[in-house]
Structures are given as structure tokens and as C-alpha cells.
A and B are shown apart, each in its own frame.
Chain A
Amino acid sequence: RKEVEQDPGPFNVPEGATVAFNCTYSNSASQSFFWYRQDCRKEPKLLMSVYSSGNEDGRFTAQLNRASQYISLLIRDSKLSDSATYLCAVNHNDYKLSFGAGTTVTVRA
């Protein structure tokens, strides 16, 4: 079983829609969780950290479910500029961050 798994998508949504997707992790001892955004042929950029109580940053909401070992990302009021691949990352120990293969989101006009 992979350490971190994501639905690859693609999720094709119209502008203004809400889109949500999950990321599951296998190590119950995982401590830190993150969402990254990666545009085509660019480096991943940190979107947000995921806190135990859940957190929101503008139109983006991240949740952590430790019991079921997954994190989620919800994007409200989707913009064309939200089209990207979203990578989840999970920290198992002090040094290593494991990434999922990414979920592709395409927002259409």
C-alpha cells in the first residue's frame, strides 16, 4: 500500500462550483499534513498546512480525519485560476515528507 494516495481526477468543474477531494495516508503515526498546488511544469507551492481542528484560508478549507486517516481539501467558488494539480503531503517523522501523486482540477468557464 502506498504511503499517501490521492484520486488522480481529473475533476472538471464550472466556475463558481465547489470541488472537494481527499487524500489517504497509511501511517497512523503521521504528524503533519499539507496541501501543495502544482501548475504544469512548475514546482509545487505550499497551499496550506492542515491542522487537527481544520482550517480555512479564503475559499480553501482543509480537514483532517485521523480516525479514518485522510485529509481533505475543499475549494469554494472555483476560479479559472484554481486549475492545477493539488498534492497532499504527509510527514511521518522529523525529516521525511511523502507526497501523493496529485489530484488534477480543471475549472471551466
Chain B
Amino acid sequence: SQTIHQWPATLVQPVGSPLSLECTVEGTSNPNLYWYRQAAGRGLQLLFYSVGIGQISSEVPQNLSASRPQDRQFILSSKKLLLSDSGFYLCAWRREDTGELFFGEGSRLTVL
């Protein structure tokens, strides 16, 4: 069966520091992968999605970037964090036949 993992689960970072969140999927090949962010009390905002290695689509302009160095690895990065980057970051993979998304456990980022 397919599983998806994210890490770290929680982090507190100062403004201006870099960020790297990792996500890996097991049990499926060439999945569509997604990064969403959920601000406190808000809905899920799609940040990036990837349909294959090295292919990244960005949904909103921001100081975040994503990379997909391997088929089942998706990384979210920032060179310099802003206060507004605080939130709950969720990685997801898409089941091809049904379009359903399945999420990792999430990474909760607080920027101080």
C-alpha cells in the first residue's frame, strides 16, 4: 500500500533563516505530488505541484521554492523565511484513477 511521510513534524525558525521540508512517498511510482499550506483557521492553499522528476508548477508567487530530485521525493525550501510563512505545510500524492489526494502528517512551521 502507499504511504507518505513528511519531516520535520514541527519547527520553529527565526525570520530570515532557511527552510527545508521533505516529503517521500512509498508504494507508487511517478505520482503527482503537491505542497499545500494551511494558515491558522484558513483553508488549504496550493503552493506547488509536480507531475514528474524536475517538473514543478508554482501556483502563487512567494519566497518558497520546490524541487523533485527523485521520483518519490518532494522538497519545499526557502532561502529566507518571512513571518507570513508560518503555517501547516502538507504534502500530498494523487491517486491517478480516482483523483483523490492523500496527505502526509504535515509540518507545522512557526516563524518568529
Contact = CB atoms under 8 A, between A and B. Distances in A.
Given A87-B44, A95-B49, A101-B42, A44 B103 contact: yes
A66 interface: no
A89 interface: yes
Question: DSSP majority for the A interface?
Answer: strand
Question: DSSP majority for the B interface?
Answer: strand
B101 A46 contact: yes
Interface in A1-58: 4, 31-32, 34, 41-46, 49
A44 B46 CA distance: 14
A91 B90 CA distance: 18
B106 A42 contact: yes
A41 B89 CA distance: 11
Interface string B41-55: 011101001010000
Q: In this complex, which of A32, A89, A95 has the most chain B Cβ atoms within 10 angstroms of its Cβ?
A: A95
Interface string B30-43: 00101010000011
A102 to B, nearest CB: 6
Given A98-B46, A101-B43, A102-B43, A43 B106 contact: yes
Interface string A62-93: 00000000000000000000000001010100
B71 interface: no
Nearest to B103: A43
B32 A87 contact: no
Q: In this complex, which of B34, B46, B100, B108 has the most chain A Cβ atoms within 10 angstroms of its Cβ?
A: B100
B61 interface: no
Given A43-B90, A44-B90, A102-B43, A97 B101 contact: yes
Interface of A: 4, 31-32, 34, 41-46, 49, 87, 89, 91, 95-102
16 contacts: A42-B106, A43-B105, A44-B90, A46-B100, A46-B102, A49-B98, A49-B100, A95-B32, A95-B49, A95-B57, A97-B34, A97-B46, A99-B43, A100-B43, A101-B42, A101-B43
Given A42-B105, A97-B46, A97-B94, 19 more contacts: A32-B98, A43-B104, A44-B44, A44-B90, A44-B103, A45-B103, A46-B102, A91-B99, A95-B49, A95-B94, A96-B46, A96-B49, A96-B59, A97-B99, A97-B101, A98-B46, A99-B44, A100-B43, A101-B43
